[in-house]
Amino acid sequence: MASRLQVNNIIKESGSGDVAFAYGGAIFNGNLTVQNATFDNISSVLSLGQYTNATRPANPTQGTIIYNVSVGQVQIWNGDRWVLLDTKGGTLPEVGQVVHLDATKTSSYSGGASTIWTDLSGNGNNFSIDANAHQGTAGSKLAYMAFINDTNGCAKNSGDISLSNEVTYVVVTRILNSTSTWRTLTRSYNADHHVIVQSGAWNIGMYDNNGSGFIDSGANQNGLSNYISNTWATMIWRFSNTDDPTYEMFVNGEKVGEIRNSNARYNRGFGSIGAYHDGNTNPNSSSQYWGDIRLFVAYNRRITNDEIVQCQYATESQGYLQN
């Protein structure tokens, strides 16, 4: 039978200084509050509790720290959500950025009557827009581009951005809530709608203009977590030439669809964002409008699963998902 000793305090006989525990240390079950702790020498390890995304505590005390084995990183509960401890709220991955357009930053859109959406990636891939597309105050986290009709138009480049094979899109967006037309996120001047919502339906996939037509990913616009509330969401698409899978879609960090079909490969870049360009470079001469876009980033690589989590934390912590 195990014995138990219950005390209110453990102190040194002299009243101050170190308290030494026998070899093997001490085991405490329940909560242990430490006012100050100094570790001069940790000869082995200091271990955190290990959890998965599914098993993390539901309502922990603010400041609780765990190791999340699902993402392979240390996380802390900030009182509202789990955030990465080692990324200070999270920043978007910079390696491989080809286009980075941000409607909330004056460095990307200066406001007023400006018709240039400036690329922040450093590659000079600026896009032309109609100033009517920009909604809200320049520099506000509530600002966005509304690519919803001919008055606002869409974003266009003079030619296709050079991208193929391994590609990722990170987009903070609200898809136009209508089935009366196709909804195109990007379109090449040559062929292919890389991301599109089917006309007369809610199905999300890609459109192969070389013969296969619409290829469904299994994701549905009206089944997305932000659909009913029409709130902002972080949507990520990954494309691969290995077809395992070819096309993946994530919404707020959760995978919602995929395609395993070589006809859905990312074979060419894009010339328009937020609509089909209708074969010209005039932003107001377009069709198949996508909806609202606050942030659009394209990478020339397939970002990792950990980076998908990183993007989610970044857009949340930096206020991109505010309504």
- The pLDDT averaged over each successive group of 10 residues in the chain (323 residues) is 63 64 65 66 73 88 86 76 63 95 98 97 98 97 97 98 96 96 97 97 96 96 92 97 95 97 96 98 98 98 94 92 92
Contact 321, 142 (CB under 8 A): no
In the sheet that holds 50-51, the strands lie side by side as 50-51, 65-68, 73-77, 82-84
Hey, what amino acid is at 146?
A
Asked if 313 and 90 count as a contact pair (C-beta separation under 8 A), the reply is yes
Per-residue confidence (pLDDT) for residue 91, from 0 to 100: 87
Count of C-beta atoms within a 10 Å radius of residue 297: 24
Q: Comparing C-alpha atoms, which of 237, 120, 121, 219 is closest to residue 170?
A: 237
**Residue 264 in 3-state DSSP?**
helix
pLDDT at 79: 73
**Angle at alpha carbon of residue 271, lines to 269 and 273, rounded to 5°:** 105
- Residue 145: both structure tokens together: 């581009």
Given this model, what pLDDT does residue 307 score? 94
Dihedrals phi, psi of 315, to nearest 5 degrees: -70, -35
Closest CA to 90 of 251, 319, 294, 315: 315
- Residues contacting 276, CB < 8 A, separation 6+: 182, 184, 187, 193, 286, 287, 288
Please tell me the pTM assigned to this model.
0.75
Distance separating alpha carbons of residues 183 and 278, to the nearest angstrom? 13
Q: What does DSSP assign to residue 189?
A: S
Element (H, E) at 258: strand 254-259
Q: Using CA atoms, how far apart are residues 34 and 46, in angstroms rounded to an integer?
A: 15
Check: CB of residue 184 under 8 Å from CB of residue 276. yes
Residue 224 CA, chain-centre distance (Å), reads 15
Check: CB of residue 168 under 8 Å from CB of residue 298. Answer: yes
**Distance set, CA 288 to CA 23, 63, 81, 170, 176 (Å):** 71, 46, 36, 20, 10
AA identity, residue 193: H
- Which domains are present in the chain? 50-84 (no CATH), 97-317 (2.60.120.200)
- What pLDDT is recorded for position 49? 86
